[in-house]
């Protein structure tokens, strides 16, 4: 799950899909499907959660990455992906930057 966004960004880069399509697939549609009213869009009245990405950043997936699975292996190990998250903002607060979590989890069951 930790590699979902880099995988989607890489796919958008290589397939020519737009970032708008990626945002709809990764945020807007799931929020709508699960009935989460204030998530999935950047509009007045929504929570304003967002991820800033570096589309030029290319990295090779390794097991030492912050998002590596705890099981000790990944089907993506050794694969070079272009497009990585840089900053994650939740309810207006920076919660992760450059792969480092800056705060404790604040999630709640919906």
Whether 1 shows a pLDDT value over 90: the answer reads no
How many helices and strands, by DSSP H and E, does the chain display?
3, 4
pLDDT of residue 6: 93
C-alpha atoms less than 13 angstroms from C-alpha of 9 in its C-beta half-sphere: 21
Rg, C-alpha atoms of the chain: 15
Longest dimension (CA), the chain: 42
Lowest-confidence region among 11-20, 31-40, 48-57: 31-40
Average pLDDT of every residue of the chain: 86
- Residue 36 confidence (pLDDT): 87
């Amino acid at each position: 799950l930790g590699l979902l966004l880099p995988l989607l960004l890489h796919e958008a880069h290589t397939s020519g899909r737009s970032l708008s399509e990626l945002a709809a697939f990764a945020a807007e549609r799931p929020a709508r499907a699960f009935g989460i009213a204030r998530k999935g869009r950047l509009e007045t009245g929504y929570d304003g959660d967002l991820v800033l990405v570096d589309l030029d950043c290319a990295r090779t997936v390794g097991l030492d990455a912050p998002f590596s699975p705890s099981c000790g292996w990944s089907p993506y190990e050794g694969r070079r992906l272009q497009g990585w998250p840089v900053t994650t903002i939740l309810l207006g607060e920076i919660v992760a930057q450059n792969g480092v979590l800056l705060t404790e989890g604040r999630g709640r069951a919906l």
